[in-house]
Structure 1
Amino acid sequence: MSTAIDFPSLFSPLDLGSVKLKNRIFSSGHDTVMVHDGEVTDQLVAYHRARAEGGAGLIVMQVAGIHETARYTSHVLMITDDSCIPGYRRLAEVVHEHDCKLISQIFHPGREIMESQDGALPVALAPSAVPNERFHVMPRALSIGLIEEIVAGYASGAVRLKKAGLDGVEITASHGYLPAQFLNPNLNLRDDRYGGSLDNRMRMLRDTVAAVREAVGPDFVVGVRVSADERTFDGTDAGEILEMCRTLDEDGHVDYINVTEGTSASQSGSTHIVAPMTYEAAYTAPSAARIKKEVSVPVLVAGRINQPHEAETVLSTGQADACAMTRALICDPDLPVKAETRRVDEIRACIACNQACIGHFHMGYPISCIQRPETGRELQFGKLTPATTSKKVMIVGGGPAGMKAAAVAAQRGHDVTLYEAEGRVGGQVLLAERLPHRAEFGGAVTNLLAEIQRSGVVVKTRVRVDTDLVEQEAPDVIVVATGATPYRPALELDDALPVFDAWDVVKTGAADLPKGRIVIADWRCDWTGLGVAEMIARSGGRKVTLCVNGNAAGETLQQYTRNAMLGAAFEANVEIVTNVRLYGADDDTVYLQNTLTSQPVLVDDVAGLVLALGHRQEDGLFHALEQTGAVVHAIGDCMSPRTVEEATLEGLRVASRI
């Protein structure tokens, strides 16, 4: 079937140095936490196989350390000796089976050290002894001898990857890592040949590129990744970054430039490493376009490109030559083949929540996706096993847990009916999408609803299931996903101060709240408290004090999402009080207790109190059905109130066993 009408640019081939890409969709380098002892694992092979099978034209692998001092996490791939070659060779063979090209990032973090290897902090290296704001690292200035040793490490590492059968390497000079630190005059204070003038500050990267090219020869792709705008208070001037790209192009050693934005070095800059849904689609494309106008080699771009039509626009308008759709491929590895075969409506769109992808990485766990828990678990759930016997399955509850269970059970061949008490399926996602900057979160429901409809699940809304209905329907298996309701502990309250549940505020907006100071008591420290705080603060006539039962508002959120929400709350003039628990309230005072000292904390002149104190599982039906001897499973918040991630994962697990 011809695809030219739909996405002619996206599915046109691209020459990248010595290789030809079958299309212009690529997965950019991202840490997967699927590494053991610095080497490729079966889990990592299965993860990349899924994206190659799904039709990606190029996979750029996560960073590979080129020197012992490059171990920026405890789970980084290392290419410092030949022991790495067999693992990379196995991965390359698997990816190449699907006409997908494979490139690896080669890397030194400089001062951007995230973790210790064994609990003791390492000595971080940088051009000069200038501290890192985000990780609070004071580095040691590199000697010229060590700089030369690191440059040689890039070259020898590239040779090993070529021996392993990869198609190329990408030198990571983006996000404030070592080559970018040399370029930045605020970080590079040297007075030798590597510091001072722009030419000197570019020397380390130019030497690296030249050394790599000489080592690997002309028939191996060499690319460079750059941050066109570091988006931080002490970043390199964008004009100098552009000049660096011109110089690299003129030197003639690079085959492409991969453009992104942000830096690891600061809270504001790091948000752009994996931008949350606060930022619009393809927002980095103009930066790529500026560089593309100045260089002759292909320019690749990354930055919230989630859908094929977004990528097509970037390409057809000449802003870039290929588009990273990394999180989109984490969410749906079959996106390319679906787009190419005109099944765009089947694509599971990424919502940029960051929870299980970069969020898992920051916690040291293999990455996944809240919408697609199969990601990262390909060895266990990569291929659904058809059911040996078709069963009648009743799913009670149409939140993410119930919807995922219904879709998977139906795909395996069961006869599935989903019952939802409300008029719409979606559960708490329908609340989350109403908050400021969170509308895209509703895509999780849109995607799951499309899956269950395609799978043939019968959906019955406005039906409250009880034991009589279960007896009447006589299912073989019941999956209870009845969710949770707001939790309200015993509090000393009187009737003088209006008290609201956060759910009700989200449903109806702030119009029903009194004018004046509104206190939000936030136990969970997640999107609810921060989102409701901004919503109320922007409603007019109200001052918001957000009182959180933790060290920081939003502390349970992935840090880039949290930083974006905290920034928005600050701009909305939300006052935040940390480390407090709610005790009670009277006519105009809210009484709290410091969680560290137990001392009282009072907020006066209060007009209303909003409770965001977590949720209690709704498990009555589950326990009642257990007593009948029925085959019944409980999943999601019905088991214990958590997040969409746990809900979909448990739906997958249970439905895979039925």
Structure 2
Amino acid sequence: MSTTFPHLLSPLRIGKVTLRNRIVSTGHDTVLPVDCQVSPALIAYHAARARGGVGLIVLQVSGVHETARYTSHALMATDDSCIPGYRALADAVHAQGSVLFAQLFHPGREIMETADGMQAVAYAPSTVPSERFHVMPRALNETEIAALIAAYATAAQRIRAAGIDGVEIVASHGYLPAQFLNPRVNLRTDAYGGDFAGRLRFLREVVVAIRTAVDEHCVVGLRISLDERDCEGLQEDEALQACVALQDQLDYVSLVAGTSASLGGAVHIAPPMAFPAAYLATPAGRFRQALSIPLLLAGRINQPQEAEQLLARGVVDACGMTRALICDPELPNKLYAQHSESIRACIACNQSCIDRFHRGLPISCIQNPLSGRELQFGALTPTTKPRRVMVVGGGPAGMQAAVIAAQRGHQVTLYEAGAQLGGQVLLAQQLPGRAEFGGLITNLHYALREAGVEVVLRQRVDRAVVQQQAPDVLILACGATPAAPRLEVGGSMPVHDSWEVLQGVSVGARVVVSDWRADWVGPGLAIRLAETGHQVTLAVNAPLMGQALPMYVRDQLAAQLHQLQVTILPYARLYGVDDRTVYLQHTASEEAMVCEDIDGVVLCQPPQPDDRLRQQLEGLVLEVHAIGDCQTPRTAEEAIYEATRLAWGL
């Protein structure tokens, strides 16, 4: 056992099963099921994490009743046709030494979508709407409640019949059991409402029904938000009271935070990098003191040292490290081998995990495109024909291409014109709350060294250099350069590009940030300027600020901008400037929008591809590939994916 992580790598007994370590992949949607059943891609995804050494995998939610289809791609455990898929998944996970639980789920009023695009009929304890999804539910009658309780039990029977080790009742994030517990949502006056005992009755009867339906070796746990972080949500004392009341009937409790019912509460479902690491440790400690059964915790526990500290302090018994395992499925094995420095650390960007779910796309990772694509990529095999590969550009695309090509056995040299590798990430990490984004480059630096890539800095590559080096393959990852918009300029108003501001150019006291991109650059700069005393107007060329961002990132930024009193103008196209006035145009009405008494403008414009080297190479007989922003500017996700796909096949 590692002496560095003795607690994290120690076994843990939960009910009648023993986990080989205390690292948990908690339940999370993947959009990998097909026809609401386990698919080969889902099996491959979880098998990769089991093979990587994780102690416990908790499967994504399984609907217990037809009214529980909260998305069109949820797993459903409503009839026996689900059993073979669950069995195949259990066999794959068990073959690699991990334990597998499945989540039992009903969303209540938190319905996101339906398969045919129609608005669903949602059910809840009372007719209290969901603010986030703008859903008004029907109040369940007692006959319907009895049917749902029975459905939890039969779903648990099917899951157990498939050989899965346990079930986890989802009472987190404002879903149906939490709606019954919450006195602001449960307004019933019958036996399932009123005082605490009445509001607890539904969840208690669900637990009893499941216990009756499964054998004694089946683990039964509860996932609950320790605080829904919303004034109308379940509060910490209420959640704790429920856990204490039920602990004699449960094998463990799994803690998270937040609620699906509000924008502010939902941010905690997958908290972005602006939140501190392990930020739920203090409230979790209250639960630890009150409970005698194993306690799991998830919420920004991305690094093994954070998990080890929580366990050493006795705050919890196991740590949910879900996004860390999406980013690096081999994390546990690397700890066993005492190679923690080689772990590809999650940066909590949310760009390719939870954001893809919200767009109805299968899960992946900005740093690890293999996640969710295990069947597409397969195993990386050594090349039988090593070649000399020249990579031009040291941003994420170039670094990743160099790493994968070298891992395949090619002789790789990476050229970067600047003094350090990183590309635009070096700018991105300077924005407030984005420092962790730089971890992407830290991870790639390590991978370059391990792969044996030769790195040449301060070398601008032109046609002559390419001809001199005569590579077998040339990969262009030259990135992008700022592009100036067409503006009507009638005075001396200072106009600066966002890159210039991040590099230290000063601006006046009253600033307009013109945000064409609608991503994190505009709001990040607005926050940075507002925090240093500037009066800021964020003029967004989109219907809303952060339209291109993962919603939890956007909503967290919206909260900061509001707190800093930044004025936000949506539908705003920059038209021109004079000495003290910024002229904008409403993109829908085309009417004028004017900002007066302004000292300067900051441009967040789309960059343009750096195509200079490709143009110089016209007529040169050479295998050339272009990836990332020099194809067309997008995000680091596309850059790293394209680099991986290209180098995988070289």
The SS at the match of 2:437 is helix
1:418 and 2:411 matched: no
The SS at the match of 2:514 is strand
Q: Separation in 2 of the partners of 1:613 and 1:577? A: 16
Among candidates 228, 231, 238, match of residue 229 of structure 2: 231
Q: Separation in 2 of the partners of 1:582 and 1:630? A: 43
1:613-652 correspondence runs (5 A): 613-652=605-644
User: Where in structure 1 do 4 or more consecutive aligned residues deviate above 4 Å?
Assistant: none
The SS at the match of 1:23 is coil
Is the CA contact (8 Å cut-off) linking 1:401 and 1:636 kept in structure 2? yes
Among candidates 527, 530, 533, match of residue 523 of structure 2: 530
Q: Separation in 1 of the partners of 2:85 and 2:633? A: 40
1:482-521 correspondence runs (5 A): 482-508=478-504, 512-515=506-509, 517-521=510-514
1:92-491 correspondence runs (5 A): 92-249=90-247, 252-491=248-487
Is the CA contact (8 Å cut-off) linking 1:288 and 1:300 kept in structure 2? no
The SS at the match of 1:606 is coil
Q: Deviations over 1:243-282 (max 9, x none)?
A: 1111101xx3211000111110001110001000111111
Q: Separation in 1 of the partners of 2:29 and 2:233? A: 24
Counterpart AA for 1:214: T
Is the CA contact (8 Å cut-off) linking 1:483 and 1:618 kept in structure 2? yes
Counterpart AA for 1:358: I
Is the CA contact (8 Å cut-off) linking 1:435 and 1:535 kept in structure 2? yes
Deviation of 1:382 after TM superposition, in Å, equals: 3.6
Is the CA contact (8 Å cut-off) linking 1:25 and 1:323 kept in structure 2? yes
Moved more, 621-630 or 315-324: 621-630
Among candidates 559, 568, 579, match of residue 560 of structure 2: 568
Q: Separation in 1 of the partners of 2:97 and 2:281? A: 27
Deviation of 1:568 after TM superposition, in Å, equals: 1.1
The SS at the match of 1:247 is helix
Q: Separation in 2 of the partners of 1:281 and 1:611? A: 32
Deviation of 1:559 after TM superposition, in Å, equals: 0.6
The SS at the match of 2:619 is helix
Deviation of 1:387 after TM superposition, in Å, equals: 1.1
Is the CA contact (8 Å cut-off) linking 2:121 and 2:137 kept in structure 1? yes
Q: Separation in 2 of the partners of 1:514 and 1:568? A: 21
Is the CA contact (8 Å cut-off) linking 1:259 and 1:287 kept in structure 2? no
Among candidates 535, 551, 554, match of residue 543 of structure 1: 535
Is the CA contact (8 Å cut-off) linking 2:111 and 2:135 kept in structure 1? yes
Deviation of 1:42 after TM superposition, in Å, equals: 0.8
Counterpart AA for 1:15: R
Q: Separation in 2 of the partners of 1:8 and 1:603? A: 59
Q: Separation in 2 of the partners of 1:418 and 1:626? A: 21
1:66-105 correspondence runs (5 A): 66-105=64-103
Q: Deviations over 1:70-126 (max 9, x none)?
A: 000010000000000011100100100111000010100000001122011110000
Identical counterparts, % of pairs: 54
Name the residue aligned to 2:30.
32
Q: Separation in 2 of the partners of 1:606 and 1:74? A: 49
Deviation of 1:339 after TM superposition, in Å, equals: 1.1
Q: Separation in 2 of the partners of 1:104 and 1:507? A: 49
Is the CA contact (8 Å cut-off) linking 2:491 and 2:577 kept in structure 1? no
Q: Separation in 2 of the partners of 1:626 and 1:192? A: 79
Is the CA contact (8 Å cut-off) linking 1:622 and 1:633 kept in structure 2? no
Q: Deviations over 1:614-644 (max 9, x none)?
A: 1101122123325312100000000010000
The SS at the match of 1:162 is helix
Q: Separation in 2 of the partners of 1:445 and 1:222? A: 41
Q: Separation in 2 of the partners of 1:128 and 1:570? A: 32
Deviation of 1:316 after TM superposition, in Å, equals: 0.8
Q: TM-score, normalising length from structure 2?
A: 0.99
The SS at the match of 1:319 is coil
The SS at the match of 2:346 is coil
Q: Separation in 1 of the partners of 2:6 and 2:498? A: 47
Deviation of 1:150 after TM superposition, in Å, equals: 0.7
Q: Separation in 2 of the partners of 1:620 and 1:118? A: 48
The SS at the match of 1:232 is coil
1:577 and 2:577 matched: no
Give the paired residue count.
650
Name the residue aligned to 1:607.
599
Q: Separation in 1 of the partners of 2:592 and 2:536? A: 20
Moved more, 644-653 or 482-491: 482-491
Q: Separation in 1 of the partners of 2:614 and 2:628? A: 12
Q: Separation in 2 of the partners of 1:376 and 1:241? A: 34
Deviation of 1:580 after TM superposition, in Å, equals: 1.2
The SS at the match of 1:205 is helix
Deviation of 1:495 after TM superposition, in Å, equals: 4.8
Deviation of 1:130 after TM superposition, in Å, equals: 0.4
Counterpart AA for 1:484: A
Q: Separation in 2 of the partners of 1:609 and 1:373? A: 37
Q: Deviations over 1:391-428 (max 9, x none)?
A: 00000000000011000000000000000011011011
The SS at the match of 1:520 is strand
Compute the RMSD of aligned alpha carbons.
0.9
Q: Deviations over 1:573-609 (max 9, x none)?
A: 1111000111111111111111001111111111001
Counterpart AA for 1:201: R
Name the residue aligned to 1:596.
588
Deviation of 1:292 after TM superposition, in Å, equals: 1.6
Deviation of 1:480 after TM superposition, in Å, equals: 0.1
Moved more, 172-181 or 276-285: 276-285
Counterpart AA for 2:521: T
The SS at the match of 2:275 is coil
Is the CA contact (8 Å cut-off) linking 1:433 and 1:442 kept in structure 2? yes
The SS at the match of 2:414 is strand
Is the CA contact (8 Å cut-off) linking 2:404 and 2:647 kept in structure 1? yes
The SS at the match of 1:526 is coil
The SS at the match of 1:15 is strand
